[in-house]
Structure 1
């Protein structure tokens, strides 16, 4: 049982680090969107093509702002989850994290499709963020599965 707890703690730490990294990426790209300045693109000029396209501003809001909010929420919740291991609070925080991650995966998938088929350019930072969000999503699912398995093992011992 100790290894299950350790692996849950490790998964949560990885989620925290990935969320923090996502937040930093979103801040970098968002400041470029807001200042209308170039982005250092790791793959050429795709970032500028994306930044200059109206699709990158749904409801007038720059896409990186959505990423920043999502990653900020995941960073805060993963930190709170590390402090509070009580079953009810842990489950509530985990469910909130899962909800944010589901929205995040849907959003990055939508935006990636927009980049490929509408904008016709791919931003390397957006691609990294997409992979990052998918990894976080799967880690949350793995963590929830471990917790469910752990709690069902405890109930079966009673």
Structure 2
């Protein structure tokens, strides 16, 4: 399985989780399954659950959806060695990683809370970041050999 396919699967799973969190936030998903405490509700309901007036979970759902789409297209045989999908994925994933650092800082340091769904997203975007570094190196080697 190529790195782009792994990224596509991770992005799809996280898009589904982010969609669930957004649907909960707008009242369409019933209660929030969050484990023992109410950390998810606390974090999601805080000012850090919004960015420029937009629900952070919605930003995540759309962002992960776009990453999934680009990674899926980039994994097609005719594009697997092309540079443009790797560069676009780097832009998307590295930006999401920086955004996640901001959110984790707010969650842990400012709010002193913990949301397991947010932690899953943070681990996933970190894994995707590492995979994109490796993919960037692979594509660089392939383009130099061509």
TM-score w.r.t. the length of structure 2 is 0.89
**Cα 1:86–1:75 shift into 2, 3 Å:** closer
CA deviation vs aligned residue, 1:70-96 (integer Å, no higher than 9, x gap): 101110001111223275xx2112111
List gaps (5 residues or longer) in structure 1: 1-8
Q: CA deviation at 1:44?
A: 2.2
Q: CA deviation at 1:11?
A: 1.1
Distance in structure 2 (CA, Å) of the matches to 1:139 and 1:131: 12
Q: Does the aligned pair in 1 maintain the 2:83–2:143 contact within 8 Å?
A: no
Q: Does the aligned pair in 2 maintain the 1:38–1:48 contact within 8 Å?
A: no
Q: CA deviation at 1:120?
A: 2.0
Runs of 4+ in 1 over 3 A off after TM superposition: none
List gaps (5 residues or longer) in structure 2: none
Q: Does the aligned pair in 1 maintain the 2:86–2:139 contact within 8 Å?
A: no
Q: CA deviation at 1:114?
A: 0.4
Q: Indicate which of 65, 68, 72 corresponds to 1:72.
A: 65
Q: Does the aligned pair in 1 maintain the 2:18–2:58 contact within 8 Å?
A: yes
Distance in structure 1 (CA, Å) of the matches to 2:57 and 2:2: 28
Q: CA deviation at 1:43?
A: 4.8
Corresponding position of 1:105: 97
Bigger-Rg structure (1/2): 1
TM-score w.r.t. the length of structure 1 is 0.83
Q: CA deviation at 1:127?
A: 0.7
Distance in structure 1 (CA, Å) of the matches to 2:67 and 2:16: 13
Corresponding position of 2:114: 122
Q: Does the aligned pair in 2 maintain the 1:43–1:124 contact within 8 Å?
A: no
Q: Does the aligned pair in 1 maintain the 2:2–2:75 contact within 8 Å?
A: no
Higher helix share: 1
Which piece of structure 1 moves more, 70-79 or 143-152?
Answer: 143-152
Distance in structure 1 (CA, Å) of the matches to 2:36 and 2:107: 14
**Cα 1:86–1:109 shift into 2, 3 Å:** closer
Which piece of structure 1 moves more, 130-139 or 28-37?
Answer: 28-37
**Cα 1:86–1:63 shift into 2, 3 Å:** closer
Q: Is residue 85 from structure 1 mapped to residue 79 from structure 2 by the alignment? A: yes
